[in-house]
A and B are shown apart, each in its own frame.
Chain A
Amino acid sequence: MTNILLVAKREIRQILAMKSFWLTLLILPVALALGPILAESLGDEDATPVAMIDRSGSGAGEALQQRFAEDDDRNTLRELSRYVQRYDLESADPQAVWTQHDRWYTATDIAAFRTSGGVDGAIAKIDAVRPDGTPEFEADPPLYEFVPAPPALASQSAQGFGAAAQDLFDSDADDAPEIVVLIGEDYPAVPAIGLYSANQPRASFVAAMQETLTGDLRTRLLAERGILAADAAAIQSAVPAISVNTPPPGDGAREALLVRSIVPLALAYILMMSLMLSGSWMLQGSVEERSNKLLESLLACIKPEELMYGKLLGGLSVGLLMIAVWAGCAAVAAYATQGVIADMIRPALEPVSSPGAILTILYFFVAGYIGISMIFVAIGAMVDSMSEAQGYLMPVLLAILLPITFLLQAILAGREGWIVQVLTWVPLWTPFAVLARLGMGIETWVLVGTGALLAATIALELIFLGRLFRASLLATGQKPTLGRMLERLRARPQ
């Protein structure tokens, strides 16, 4: 055992002395820290500037602007409602529309929201009851901002309007609108509306515009047919009262599944990452021992099995060290951002925090590490150079990584089809599949069955790949052909 520990310690020291180790160790936390910042900076959160030119004098342009303002307020109300529901802040104003989570907000609700001070009024009331650590509510910016049309465009005749609008879009002027809506002077008699856009407009924009102007046209037609304007407007504004019964944030089946699967998926991903990294370092160490011809000196002092187990233990220790560092970084990030992250982490940790789940994770993690590291160590024992090792490494990496990519996608999509089942039961992918599926829930008998199968496979691996390792150690300069590999797999100690 002492020799195994000595070999493991040397392996660890060798890997820790590599610059590539420290780079990769730090890259993941840095990437995770930079990710949200980059995503925020890359995200287009500015409202799209829209110029409305209404030459009809019919009030249609005004109606359109009101419609978009109403949509923005409805969206704000929905976000506010979800925020209040998530943090149990209904006591801020039990009568307010934003503490009612059971309906699709109507124009009346929006009017009431505006009357009571809009989003600023709501935030003021919420702040009065918001406990420390609960993040502040941040309203999404409006999708569209209505800007005055440049005079040159506003005075442009209908004939040259399209070209003038295009020149404006091409000018890259800071105050140039991205969308121009032209309501002609003959509207509503000639119900032709011009929509000019620098980019493909959102379907929701066109749909809202069509719905508003269609309502306007129909109201006018009803009035023309003798229906009183007020009645016509009432007919147009008649909407069903849609009651909404959705689970609270994080509780929807799909959403809950995603939240519960975050940590298990991260575990599977981290296992894969650390295995690939420490595996390649282990391989590098083995190749160095062969190419530097120091195996015979080692084997005069220790058994081949001790060398192999020492390498596996060293690799496993480095992998666990990396994971501990990454977990530590995550803990620091969670502590530093307390409320926001902690609130998200609590439900995410729920499927992996029971003693049984922790044991399951530890077992499949360690078993996965040993099972796959063993392949790297065996490759290292067979080849004389890193370039030769690459030839064997690539197919192995592809065989491991490609199915795992499909697996992670399937879990994210909430599917547990036959591919996921197969991957769960094939020992090469079992650790990844089981870890990734922990959030979805996995039957106990499957855990026991796959765990036993994995243990049996590792035992066979230790026997057969151990033979390959032992028989290959001193066979320098021999090309490991398939026949020779099979011979070594069968070889007993000589």
Chain B
Amino acid sequence: MAVLEVDRLVKRFGDVLAVDDLSFTVREGEIFGFLGGNGAGKTTTLRMVLDIIRPTSGTITVLGGSPDRRQAAAIGFLPEERGLYSGMSAIETIVYFGRLKNMDAGLARSRGMDLLTRFDLADRAKSDIGDMSKGMAQKVQLATALVNDPELLMLDEPFSGLDPVNQGLLENEILRASERGAAVIFSTHVMQHAERLCDRLLLLRKGRKRFEGTLDEARAQLPISLTAVAKSDLSSLRGVARADAGEPAGDGWREWKVALEPGVSPASVLEHCTANGIGLRRWDERRATLHDIFVELVGGEGVQR
């Protein structure tokens, strides 16, 4: 079942087109990666889903209805820019946000304590946010997003500023939310997390969708590249789009950088070589990474592996 449906969404700020004809769907239990460089329109889209800002045109259907604060009870949101009231304790902060999401104070408190225990912060429950480290405060903020067991969890650049241990903790929480059936959308420009977690991806460039699909589908967007060492010229082989001669490898052998035609499998080319007596000393296949796809479709600016 679709938890979020975005259809032909457009958002203009004056002359600036921030989101351009964007459509996608996120289903329950799905982890959906929202990838794009700075200014791609990720945060603007998430803000429109939350009804913080309104679209210029297009429709958004969240949990079966139009975006509205009444749906806050079923949504969890972690913004890119994070901060909390420094004078409030960790548990009071979680209860406050739980209450803003229509939760009963007692339930918000018990769920808050469960989350703090899971995040190894139970003993700091009554500490003021101002007295906590930045990492601790970020975990409290994550707890404010999770306290209502949201059906739709939206995380805007959730890994930024987290140490490796807390990044692992966050990954676990994303997987946990997905396992209980929540739709999770997270925006990032760290490809490693997206590769590891996402069921489906959406790549944005200047507000416009460049790709939507699974990681395998994304990889299929780029031809498989090979590195082979052979004596004969490989560029004339069937299924080879291009073969660039590299460094000589001695005794007449030469390294070749081979690009296959879309849809051609490396195995069929290898089989052809074997069948036709084309000698090979090395045959390395390299599938495109998400980073390669991102650079190809979106551009390399601001991307991290």
Residues of B within 8 Å of A293, CB to CB, are 79, 81-83
B144 near A297 (CB under 8 angstroms)?
Answer: yes
A302 near B81 (CB under 8 angstroms)?
Answer: no
Task: A6 to B85: give the CA distance in the assembly, Å.
Answer: 14
Contact with B along A455-482 (1 / 0, CB 8 A): 0000000000000000000101000000
A226 CB → nearest B CB, Å: 96
Stretch at the interface among B29-37, B48-56, B294-302: B48-56
Beta-carbon contacts under 8 Å, A14-32 to B: 14, 17
Task: A10 to B75: give the CA distance in the assembly, Å.
Answer: 22
A477 CB → nearest B CB, Å: 11
Residue B72 CB within 8 A of the other chain: yes
Residues of B within 8 Å of A3, CB to CB, are 69, 100
Residues of A within 8 Å of B262, CB to CB, are none
Contact with A along B69-85 (1 / 0, CB 8 A): 10010010111011111
Residues of A within 8 Å of B97, CB to CB, are 297, 301
A301 near B141 (CB under 8 angstroms)?
Answer: no
Q: How large is the interface on B (under 10, 10 to 19, 20 to 34, 35 or more residues)?
A: 20 to 34
A288 near B141 (CB under 8 angstroms)?
Answer: no
Contacts A300-B79, A303-B69; A6 near B86 (Cβ below 8 A)? no
A224 CB → nearest B CB, Å: 91
Residue B87 CB within 8 A of the other chain: yes
Residues of B within 8 Å of A291, CB to CB, are 83
Residues of A within 8 Å of B102, CB to CB, are 2
Task: A443 to B141: give the CA distance in the assembly, Å.
Answer: 56
Residues of B within 8 Å of A289, CB to CB, are 85
A10 nearest CB neighbor, chain B only = B96
Residues of B within 8 Å of A494, CB to CB, are 13, 53-54
Residues of A within 8 Å of B86, CB to CB, are 288, 292
B85 near A292 (CB under 8 angstroms)?
Answer: yes
Residue A298 CB within 8 A of the other chain: yes
Residue A296 CB within 8 A of the other chain: yes
B157 CB → nearest A CB, Å: 12
Residue A294 CB within 8 A of the other chain: yes
Residues of A within 8 Å of B85, CB to CB, are 10, 14, 288-289, 292, 294
Task: A14 to B50: give the CA distance in the assembly, Å.
Answer: 27
Task: A14 to B93: give the CA distance in the assembly, Å.
Answer: 12
A15 CB → nearest B CB, Å: 10
B81 near A300 (CB under 8 angstroms)?
Answer: no
Partner of A302, one of B69, B75, B77: B69
A297 near B77 (CB under 8 angstroms)?
Answer: yes
B69 near A301 (CB under 8 angstroms)?
Answer: yes
A18 CB → nearest B CB, Å: 9
B84 near A292 (CB under 8 angstroms)?
Answer: yes
Task: A493 to B86: give the CA distance in the assembly, Å.
Answer: 30
B99 near A294 (CB under 8 angstroms)?
Answer: no
Partner of A301, one of B13, B87, B101: B101
A300 near B72 (CB under 8 angstroms)?
Answer: yes
Which of A292, A297, A302 has the most chain B CB atoms closer than 10 A to its own CB?
Answer: A297
Residues of A within 8 Å of B84, CB to CB, are 292, 294, 297
Q: How large is the interface on A (under 10, 10 to 19, 20 to 34, 35 or more residues)?
A: 20 to 34
Task: A165 to B88: give the CA distance in the assembly, Å.
Answer: 72
Residues of A within 8 Å of B54, CB to CB, are 493-494
Task: A249 to B85: give the CA distance in the assembly, Å.
Answer: 57
B73 CB → nearest A CB, Å: 9
A22 CB → nearest B CB, Å: 15
Task: A14 to B84: give the CA distance in the assembly, Å.
Answer: 13
A278 CB → nearest B CB, Å: 17
Residues of A within 8 Å of B47, CB to CB, are 296, 474
Residues of B within 8 Å of A442, CB to CB, are none
Residues of B within 8 Å of A306, CB to CB, are 69
Contacts A288-B86, A302-B69; A297 near B79 (Cβ below 8 A)? yes
Contact with B along A93-106 (1 / 0, CB 8 A): 00000000000000
A3 nearest CB neighbor, chain B only = B100
Contacts A10-B96, A474-B52, A494-B53; A300 near B77 (Cβ below 8 A)? yes
B267 CB → nearest A CB, Å: 49
A5 nearest CB neighbor, chain B only = B99
Residues of B within 8 Å of A111, CB to CB, are none
Residues of B within 8 Å of A6, CB to CB, are 96, 99-100
Partner of A300, one of B13, B52, B83, B87: B52
Residue A198 CB within 8 A of the other chain: no
Task: A3 to B69: give the CA distance in the assembly, Å.
Answer: 11
B43 nearest CB neighbor, chain A only = A296
B100 nearest CB neighbor, chain A only = A301
Which of B72, B88, B96 has the most chain A CB atoms closer than 10 A to its own CB?
Answer: B96
Residues of B within 8 Å of A296, CB to CB, are 47, 52, 77, 79, 81
Task: A14 to B69: give the CA distance in the assembly, Å.
Answer: 25
Task: A17 to B100: give the CA distance in the assembly, Å.
Answer: 21
B72 nearest CB neighbor, chain A only = A301
Contacts A6-B100, A301-B69, A494-B53; A17 near B87 (Cβ below 8 A)? yes
Residue A47 CB within 8 A of the other chain: no
Residue A299 CB within 8 A of the other chain: yes
Task: A306 to B97: give the CA distance in the assembly, Å.
Answer: 14
Residues of B within 8 Å of A302, CB to CB, are 69, 72, 100
Contact with B along A291-329 (1 / 0, CB 8 A): 111101111111100100000000000000000000000
B3 CB → nearest A CB, Å: 16
Question: Beyond A300-B75, A300-B79, A494-B53: 15 further Cβ-contacts under 8 Å?
Answer: A2-B102, A3-B69, A6-B96, A14-B85, A14-B87, A288-B85, A288-B86, A292-B83, A292-B86, A293-B81, A293-B83, A294-B84, A297-B83, A299-B52, A302-B72
Chain B residues at the A interface, C-beta cutoff of 8 Å: 13, 47, 50, 52-54, 69, 72, 75, 77-79, 81-88, 96-97, 99-102, 141, 144
Question: What are the nearest 5 A-B pairs in CB distance?
Answer: A292-B83, A293-B83, A301-B100, A296-B79, A293-B81
Q: List 5 A-B contacts (CB under 8 A).
A: A10-B96, A14-B87, A292-B86, A297-B141, A301-B100
